[in-house]
Amino acid sequence: MLKLFYATGTCALASHIALEDAGAEYETVRLDFRSNDQRKPEYLALNPKGRVPALVTDRGILTETPAILVFIAQTFPEAHLAPLDDAFALAQVQAFNSYLCSTVHVAHAHRVRGYRWVDADDAAAIVAMQKKVPQSVAECFDLIEREMFAGPWVMGTSYTICDPYLFTLARWMEADGVESSHFSKVHDHLRRMSERPAVKRVLAQETALAG
């Protein structure tokens, strides 16, 4: 059975929602980033990147959200989560998810994980990065709002693997100092996503007390 390693509040939420959207049979393992679970030897033996998400399949482990999302769409084609038979339309899905991963998530990460790109002891540089985040994240969502979001779902009339991924990153916007209400399409998408039963189930599970 598929097994998803995730941590609460991370981009693994996108893969978690997609598994639920797909009607997949899967189990989950929650890592606690406060305990640094993701750097412990037993997890590094499974996923040397020391990050989430990681999806364990019967053929091995998969990482990287855009890869996992297309894998879920291909493995559960009856859920129609991506335009698998149309190379151009699939490339548009991939381009959107690649932008989220390499530009939007990266812009956000400069607020909370600046030590990846400067010496962790350089407090001034860490603060300089954090200061820019509201601007760089807002620029991303401005581009998404103006140029990428077809509506009512990201790709238009069909819900795809772009939707849980956008939802996941858009949830971070307010904490990044960006008012989501400035981006009406993204804001409305956030609301409609959070009303989907699959999303409610996943969020309830991810935020339930560990036990």
Which distant-in-sequence residues (6+ apart) come within 8 Å of 120 by Cβ? Answer: 126
Task: Read off the DSSP letter of residue 32.
Answer: -
x/- mask, its own copies, residues 26-65, rule CB under 8 A, reads ----------------------xx-------x-xx-xxxx
Distance of alpha carbon 206 from the chain centroid: 14
- State yes or no: residue 122 binds its own copies (CB under 8 A): yes
Nearer residue to its own copies within complex by CB, 129 or 170:
129
Residues paired with residue 203 on neighbouring β-strands, in sequence order: none
**Closest distance between its own copies and the C-beta of residue 34, in Å?**
23
- State yes or no: residue 105 binds its own copies (CB under 8 A): yes
**Closest distance between its own copies and the C-beta of residue 111, in Å?**
10
**Closest distance between its own copies and the C-beta of residue 3, in Å?**
15
Rounded to whole angstroms, how far apart are CA atoms 16 and 28?
9
**Closest distance between its own copies and the C-beta of residue 55, in Å?**
9
CB atoms within 10 A of CB 31: 24
Closest CA to 171 of 102, 110, 108: 108
Pairing type for strands 26-30 and 2-6 reads parallel
* Contact indicator for 162, 155 with CB cutoff of 8 Å: yes
Nearer residue to its own copies within complex by CB, 99 or 153:
99
- State yes or no: residue 70 binds its own copies (CB under 8 A): yes
Backbone angles phi, psi at 158, to 5 degrees: -100, 130
User: Where on the chain is the footprint of its own copies (CB under 8 A)?
Assistant: 48-49, 57, 59-60, 62-68, 70-71, 74-75, 87-88, 90-92, 94-95, 98-99, 101-102, 105-107, 110, 116-119, 122, 124-125, 128-129, 131-132, 136, 143, 146-147
